[in-house]
Structure 1
Amino acid sequence: TVSSLCVMACSRTCSQILGLSLGTTALFAAAANTVLLFPNWDVTYLLRGLIGRHAMLGSGLWGGGLMVLTAATLISLTGWRYGCFSKSGPCQSMLTALLSSGLAFLGALICFITSGVALKDGPFCMFDVSSFNQTQAWKHGYPFKDLQNRNYLYDHSLWNSVCLEPSKAVIWHVCFFSALLCISLLQILLVVIHFINSFLGLFCSLCEK
């Protein structure tokens, strides 16, 4: 019917938009994770191995970045009916949609969880441990991870008083991991929309036949 054809056309257009949107968020996620490897734009911390494990895990690069970008490419190709997708049937299109949605969802979820844990643990930096009743005066670690009765995310007085090096380590950590958290959450939302859109496209294709 005419209504089914219209819905199918809208479904393909939606796939094109979703593919482009997911691809854009993947690039932003990769960029945010890359910046986390260079605190204060200084490469020496990376060369000395003084980067936190959450940033070094690179979930924004391979999870919210590469995995989502690969899925976005598949979604866009399906929407444009390009190459081997030009003559694909509804079942093959749905299978591609499921694979791409699953890949993007997994990558975004990994990035989301890693970013949340990173914000909870706080930045990796050099701090004074004399207040923690230890003999060593200076060390690199996670000073906010085991901080009792105080949450550094809400207590901004700790941001410039605990971490000594890199300077503004807390602000750098919070800003870019918060960005990764928001980007991955947006990616998950786009994946859900894509799955619903693909299901509607399959339903209308079967109705037309």
Structure 2
Amino acid sequence: MTKNAVPGWRRMRFKKNKVWVETDDQGRPAIEKKRVRIKYQLDQPHEYRVNPDHLSELENGPQQTNSAKKRTKPKPANLDEQEDTTAHPENAVIIHTDGASSGNPGPAGIGAVLRYKGEKREISQYIGHATNNIAELEAVRTALAALKRRDLPVRVHTDSSYVHGLLVKNWKARQNPELVRALRELAGQFSDLKIIKVRGHSGVADNEQADHLATSAIDKKDAGN
């Protein structure tokens, strides 16, 4: 048994990151429903289900030093930041999300605008008593859950540094761990998902509309509708 293999798991590369991949009796990636389970650390509690086409063998080369490992944190599966928000694939699902809380915590709502090949869908939901951060997370989760196809490119735009930090920068979920875990697991089901940080109230039409949808959900609840 090598340092790159333990019973049921072995080291491979997922995109640019080294990961542990669940294997079958022959030592090959264990594929179930066209997905393979991976972990960044064997002792981490959660797993990601990814497209096996994005896995590759480790290349032989110099080993990373312990100090370098401490300085580098891997990103969660198939989540990344895209600076140029205009360079989306033609067949991408474009999503803008926002969450709002009146009181923080207080009555909360979520909003999302989803676009795909000229079609548009809007989501506006009241989610009860919650913080603004919970509403921001729930907005992304609800938008992704609404997508029936997980094989299309998906670009999610959020103005929440909290959401972006958790999903792209791999921040530790000190609060709302169950919701964060569920969102990360859902995100891992998409073959090409990018979370893009945008500035709030900067004139981005769909971002402004998502904000309106979130606050409208609270207003309608307060009005008894």
- Of structures 1 and 2, the larger Rg is shown by 1
Q: One fold, TM greater than 0.5?
A: no
TM norm structure 1: 0.25
Name the one with the larger helix percent.
1
Greater RCO (CA < 8 Å, at least 6 residues apart): 1
TM norm structure 2: 0.24
